[in-house]
Amino acid sequence: MNTPEGLKYASTDEWLRVEGNVATLGVSDYAQDQLSDVVFFEVTVAVGDEIQKGTIVGTIESVKAAADVTLPVSGKVIEINEELANSPELINSDPFGAAWMIKVELKDASEADSLMDATAYSAFCETRGH
């Protein structure tokens, strides 16, 4: 399982890359592995939306399951990865790169501090088994 350092992880399997007051959101390698072959992705928010921590911002569907994508911090949507709707398989092949989902301007950067680092997230995933 690939769990890059320098990212923050939520217990709901999203990752955040925080750069200044902007956070990029995606789903972890563990999540895409559990979902298997992703066939559909839809963002359910729009640029300019003010979103509260814990809000569902998208849906992923695979051949065996569907999953909601939740934003683990509060902020304003400033960019959406439009390419992902046309190429949802990127979630499987490049979950930490091309498969980023949305970017938000953080309302409170300290919210990200409560998320797990790579070491803690890896340990958390191991407790769940495969």
Residue 75 falls within a domain, yes or no?
yes
pLDDT in tens, 71-83: 999 999 999 999 9
Residue 121 falls within a domain, yes or no?
no
Q: Which helix (H) or strand (E) holds 84?
A: helix 83-86
- Residue 62's domain is classified under what CATH number? 2.40.50.100
- Output the pLDDT for position 129: 65
Residue 115 falls within a domain, yes or no?
no
Residue 46 falls within a domain, yes or no?
yes
d(CA 90, CA 107): 29
Residue 70 falls within a domain, yes or no?
yes
- Whole-prediction pTM: 0.95
Range of the domain at 78: 9-107
How many domains, in total, are found in the chain? 1
Show the CA angle centred on residue 92, arms to residues 88 and 97, nearest 5°.
85
d(CA 69, CA 9): 13
d(CA 50, CA 33): 30
Residue 82 falls within a domain, yes or no?
yes
Q: How many CA atoms lie within 13 A of 25 on its CB side?
A: 34
pLDDT in tens, 62-121: 998 999 999 999 999 999 999 999 999 999 999 999 999 999 999 998 999 999 999 999
